[in-house]
Chain A
Amino acid sequence: MAERASTVRVHDFGEVDLGLSPDEARTEADRCLQCKKPACISGCPVGVDIPAFVLAIAEGRFEDARTSILEANLLPAICGRVCPQETQCEGACILAGKERAINIGALERFAADVGVEGEAPVACAPSTGRRVAVVGSGPAGLTAAAELARRGHAVTLYESLHEPGGVLLYGIPEFRLPKVVVREEIDRVLALGVELRTNMLVGQSLSVEELLAYDAVFVATGAGLPSFMDIPGEEVNGVYSANEFLTRVNLMHADRFPGTGTPVKRGSRVVVTGGGNVAMDAARVARRLGARVSLVYRRREDDLPARREEVRHAREEGVEFVTCAAPVRILGEPCVTGVECVQMEMCALDESGRPAPRELEGSSFVIDADTVIQAIGTSPNPLLIRLLPGAETGRKGNLVVDECGRTTIPRVYAGGDIATGAATVILAMGAGKRAAAAIDSDLRNGTPAGNVE
């Protein structure tokens, strides 16, 4: 897939990947072997019939390709852009071990984008008369809302912010996922008759009693409070959580301040801590705001949990990687002047299968910085959970659910980061889809649905 040159794209927020042309898409789709037992489908958390839509593209039936995807996934333009395909469908592709896996992500994106203006509305089953509340309009909530509406339930989708989308909006930057794409796909969900209510903090703007008056509830309130490293100096001015930094730019458009009302410290010298996709996003946004950016990660580059492509893009855009290093102190008062780090050596593999880092004594060094962005994770949003009577929570404050998303409270289901801790868009969507199937089945039968897989 063609990409905009790094020297150009680092100065704006335009999309990095340009997508496939129709000819490129057909050529790529032609490579598909149309396996009798396709492994790619089982690699997809929402079960898209990948060979079917790829065949449609190969035959030039682009509309059919999208219609086929929409049967399993109403957010293909989003998934085509942000799914970690290399560990899912493409990782399972039979060609992955031979020549090169089919570029399923790019094909999904192509099918989702091409001719989307004239798309016919997706059909819904006749009304069941049941009312379901979906709390949170991120990937899990949107997917559950769509699946439930298709099955004929009346869905109210609650969002605490002023616009729906959750992490798709405030977390993932424009250059990776244009907001016009997000809005188009959300409109597709709303066109199913889903009622959207923004500015609603469920538990506060709507009481738990009012919430439990619905026939069923799906809680998808997402990752909440950002984690900090608990090192000295984190309170000084110029230290951001990645959530705050990204929210200011992605949701509130601080890059256009003072044309918009929300400011952000652009920084001339930014240190990002962490090695996941959020860290890459924060580093790449900081580059676009004009800063020199160093990303500090405590393991080796090969251990970075971010998608390979994000790491490559960040490097191309001039992000400097400082690996095998960990921050121990943020310097400066009242504003950040630098980050003191220590070198880490890699020891035996820990339970995550990665080498456990250990501090090398006497190895401390300082990176000058006027802005520090911490991208080391989040804990589940506590707001609603602490109000739900009888909700069992896990060690990290997440809601405990069964494989279908049932919580320990009758008629209350949950999925996405609120149940699993921080994960990916597509895993949240898979959870939303499984929970919707369980809700539908439970509402119809009054009996447990069992695992839909």
Chain B
Amino acid sequence: MYSVVKAGQLADRVHELVVEAPHVARHAKAGQFLIVRVDADGERIPLTISRAEGDLVRVIFMTIGATTYRLAELRPGDTILDVAGPLGRPSEVPRNATCVVVGGGVGIASCPIIARTLREAGNRVIGIVGARNADLMILEDEMRQSCDELHVTTDDGSLGRHGYAADVLKEVIEAEPVDHVWVIGPAIMMKVTSAVTRPKGIRTWVSLNPIMVDGTGMCGSCRVVVNGETRFACVDGPEFDAHQVDFDRLMQRQRIYLEEERDALERHHASRCGCETGVRHG
């Protein structure tokens, strides 16, 4: 059992949890993730490690399915049955280079820990955070502190620049030589944004979030196609060379259980409003 020490909402449908999990916190590095199982009947879901300090780890997630809604209900003092990690390979950290870290939507959660790690290794770090609108922006201050320079953009112009993170990234790599880029966000955002660095051949990393079960290199659920080969995000990733990733396949595989996830979510909501449930909806 792992105690929740802090819980809060950061934006519409975006929540943070800080959990006491020494085995994860003390060993976590930028780019890694953990797996939680809320209770005995719960599924195992991967969440990126957003911060690790002492015995505490922070995760930030958007409420999408039944499990994330359950996580969002947790309050300080509540417990999570299982927290396993840290999982996956840490980010590859260059030295004395110029790096750009781009976060989109809830994907911004992964960015400050990467930006800080890069800076500690002597890199110049330019941050770009993008969201649909001002209400969905998260961790802006933390990113400002973690980067040498930060660009803020929203799709509707309600905060920072009007436009997409990809537009800003394009300008940044035109303005000065950039060695490494990280792009983290929804699959479609990573696909579009990482395409920007392809003409210049800039080494660009994306953090993939396929469906996982064990997360330990056993089941193969998280297989992704990279450079035409099957790779496993949990042991070979989660970060891969963006220019070799088959994003369309990733997005297609992320949709495998859409119908089942909708059923589970309806059931969750029904259980919370006191309705009778147990009936499966086709």
Contacts and interface: CB of A to CB of B under 8 A. Distances in A.
Interface in A334-387: 334, 381-383
A47 interface: no
Nearest to A207: B27
Contact of B218 (A204, A236, A243, A253): A243
B64 interface: no
Contact of A258 (B32, B255, B260): B260
A234 B228 CA distance: 12
A261 B41 contact: yes
B237 interface: no
Contacts of B253: 235, 237
Given A224-B218, A260-B41, A382 B82 contact: no
Contact of B82 (A199, A235, A261, A262): A199
Nearest to A162: B82
Interface of A: 160-162, 170, 198-201, 204-207, 222-226, 228, 234-238, 240-241, 243-244, 247-248, 251-253, 256-263, 265, 334, 381-383
Contacts of A334: 252, 255
A252 B218 CA distance: 14
Interface stretch (B4-12, B111-119, B219-227): B219-227
B215 to A, nearest CB: 9
Contacts of B23: 199-200, 205-206
Given A225-B235, A262-B43, A248 B214 contact: no
A245 B280 CA distance: 22
A91 B90 CA distance: 50
B85 interface: yes
B252 A226 contact: no
Interface string B53-76: 000000000000011000000000
B66 A204 contact: no
Interface of B: 23-24, 27, 32, 37-38, 41-44, 66-67, 81-87, 213-214, 216-221, 223, 225, 230, 232, 235, 249, 252-253, 255-257, 260-261, 263-264, 267, 280
B243 to A, nearest CB: 19
A235 B223 contact: yes
Contacts, number: 128
A381 to B, nearest CB: 5
B67 A261 contact: yes
A225 B253 CA distance: 18
Contact of B84 (A160, A259, A381, A382): A160
Given A160-B84, A237-B252, A261-B42, A225 B217 contact: yes
A162 B214 CA distance: 9
Given A235-B225, A235-B253, A263-B264, A382 B220 contact: no
Nearest to A223: B218
B145 to A, nearest CB: 28
A226 B219 contact: yes
Given A201-B87, A252-B44, A253-B41, A258 B264 contact: yes
Contacts of A252: 43-44, 213
Contacts of B230: 228, 234-235
A150 B97 CA distance: 55
Contact of A381 (B37, B43, B217, B264): B217
Contacts of A222: 218
Nearest to B219: A244
12 contacts: A170-B214, A199-B82, A201-B86, A224-B218, A225-B232, A228-B220, A238-B256, A243-B220, A247-B219, A251-B214, A258-B264, A262-B44
B205 to A, nearest CB: 20
